[in-house]
Structure 1
Amino acid sequence: MLKKLSALLLILSIGIVSAFAADSALYVKEKTHNFGTIREADGPVRCEFILQNNGDKPLVIVSAKAQCGCTTPSIPKQPIRPGETAALTVTYDPAGRPGEFEKTIRVRTNRKGDNALLKIKGTVLPKSTPKKK
């Protein structure tokens, strides 16, 4: 009797996990954007990460948090329908940050465990300093 109950619980558990896995599924083809070399004097730069819903239910981007204030993510306002894509825009402000940089953005969705870690990187050339007389 105990073996039958255990087998039944295992089958039910697999079914429940499969049902949740079939919900929305966040897919990001390119998780890293390399700005290359940028000039501090040119001001903020932007890039887009394309988010795709490979699930069968709407996917909501709940939040996107950058590791510091120099990086600002902007999430899609509408749910992403199954099979569709949306852009998450990231702005990086190089002011006062010459040299190499690598920043992360944590993306949370309405589906528990279906999150993403995105990265931007590059090198900032400093503003020219005036020559002293």
Structure 2
Amino acid sequence: MKQLIVLSALVVLLASCGSNDKKVAAPDATTNGTAAVDAENLTTVQWLDSSQNFGKVVDGEKVIITFHFKNTGTKPLIISNVQASCGCTVPAKPEEPIAPGAEGKITAEFNSEGRVGKAIKNLTVQANTKEGIATLFFEGEVLPKK
């Protein structure tokens, strides 16, 4: 009985390996475990400000940081995911593809509550570019409440 189950699983596995016209690359370290897009749909992006300094804020203030970019490629730019380095930062990405030649932005709201001192944070951006991942940085100083 056990051999029959193994044989059945093998048949199903082999049948699922048939011809597939989709050109989707296997996940790898470049895409951080997510499915990659095919090479025909890759584009390029220019980060107009990939590092920001928000200056000084008082403990408890919220700061909005905006990162601007331009799609310098020939295919629509799709920002598939933006992840903050900690829970004190909430990122927002464009939901629609960015046309070739067009500009877009990613914002991050940093909550300084309980984070007195120098703050250095980053956002990891996944997109349909050759690099697959870009890292954006921001920093500033959180002053104690008076």
With the length of structure 1 as denominator, give the TM-score of the two structures.
Answer: 0.75
Deviations 1:65-121 (A, max 9, x none): 111000111001110000001110111000011110100111000235242110010
1:83 to 101, 111, 132: 101
Gaps of 5+ in 2: 1-38
The one-letter amino acid paired with 1:104 is N
Query: Is the counterpart of residue 31 in structure 1 residue 28 in structure 2?
Result: no
Query: Is the counterpart of residue 56 in structure 1 residue 74 in structure 2?
Result: yes
Q: How many percent of aligned residue pairs carry the same amino acid?
A: 34
Deviations 1:34-87 (A, max 9, x none): 01111124x211021012100001010000111100011100111000000111
With the length of structure 2 as denominator, give the TM-score of the two structures.
Answer: 0.69
1:107 to 114, 117, 125: 125
Return the offset for 1:21.
Answer: 8.4
Match of 1:74 in 2: 92
Return the offset for 1:22.
Answer: 8.4
Match of 1:9 in 2: none
Aligned residue for 1:83, secondary structure, equals coil
Distance in 1, matches of 2:78 and 2:64, equals 22
Distance in 2, matches of 1:112 and 1:28, equals 14
2:110 to 83, 86, 92: 92
Distance in 1, matches of 2:110 and 2:75, equals 32
Match of 2:7 in 1: none
Distance in 1, matches of 2:132 and 2:47, equals 11
The one-letter amino acid paired with 2:54 is F
Distance in 1, matches of 2:75 and 2:66, equals 23
What RMSD over aligned residues (CA atoms) do the two structures have, in Å? 1.7
